[in-house]
Amino acid sequence: MKREASFCVPAGNPSETVLAFLARRFTYHSHEVWQARVAEGRVQVNGQVARSEGPLAPGDRIEYDSHDLPEPPVATGYAVRFEDADLLVVDKPGNLPCHPAGAYFNHTLWALLKSRHGLESPAFVNRLDRETSGLVVVAKNAETARSCQSEFAGRRVGKRYQVLVEGVFPEVWEARGVMRADPAGPVRKRRLFVEGGTAGEAGSDWAETSFRRLAAGGGISLVEAAPATGRLHQIRATLWAGGFPVVGDKLYGVDPELFLRFCKGALTDADAAALRLNRQALHAGWLRMRHPRTREWLELEAPLPGDMAALVLLFRLSLTKPGAILHNDGL
């Protein structure tokens, strides 16, 4: 599949040249490599071949021919849990991005669905982080996408996640509060959950998640998370704020410097031992929604993936229900 990255210069971007912008924003190439790529005519701005010293303005569209850019390996063995003329629901493995971004293009669920299922424009109704496994809903047409997105936005979809956390989790925790940027965090993308607060608080998003412990042992717990809202990093940030970081999580983990060392490729054997798993142990295991056309209820499950199940066995956690897929009958 031809790889051509396209993106817009964001509003508020500082005044800088094409070369300066590319080298600062997309660090998978060095300044020198970007300079060579621009000189080869592989970068365009607003449809015209770019010059390294050409100025950029907010709203300018940059296109980059990156067909020979090596991509990191990913897990590609997703499973189809439901499919008809309108919808495709897949069980995504951990370590598979949904959308092209950064160093990933062909190594994404989006590209795999185009090549394996012949979908011209797969529309993801819900999105999971690259390291999060579980159910992803894909609309096959624009009408289905609009209908499903309305259901998700209106909180008419039931969602349940299974997550392994450090520590002995309480039996239940109704987490209600606000999420905002973490000004003290070492990483800009990390968010902060503050229990309490006020809905509508400036610079904050209201977040609600119901948690209950499924099992505990060996210093970790298996927890079910039911988010009522859909904020960025909601489950992981909330658990971290509560003192129960997600197993394997490098951004909201046991050591705030883990993510920085991971980005530099400098994780140590001690880091790997502290993480326990090579990805965040978060799994979107259950979903209940109305079919966009028939309006019948769909109830979909994805069993606990092998890497998380192995930890459950290793620490001899006794599950309250086989398969670790628990339903809320009140939905």
Handedness of CA 239, 99, 92, 134 (dihedral sign): positive
SS3 212: strand
Catalytic residue annotation: 129
- Residue type at position 234: Q
Q: How far apart are CA 237 and CA 50, in angstroms?
A: 40
Helices (H), the chain: 18-25, 31-39, 109-117, 142-153, 234-241, 258-263, 269-275, 306-314
CB 190 within 8 A of CB 182: yes
Dump strand ranges (E) for the chain.
4-8, 43-45, 48-49, 61-65, 79-83, 87-92, 123-124, 133-139, 158-166, 172-181, 191-195, 205-217, 220-227, 282-290, 297-301
Task: Select from 286, 281, 275 the least CA-distant residue to 310.
Answer: 281
Q: How far apart are CA 234 and CA 223, in angstroms?
A: 15
Cα distances from 106 to residues 66, 74, 179, 231, 259, in angstroms, run 11, 10, 33, 27, 25
235: its two tokens: 């489950």
Cα 27 from Cα 130, distance rounded (Å): 19
Residues 215-254, buried b or exposed e (16+ Cβ, 10 A)?
bbeeebbbbbbbbeeebebbbbbbbbbbebbbbbbbbbbb
Type of residue numbered 193 = F
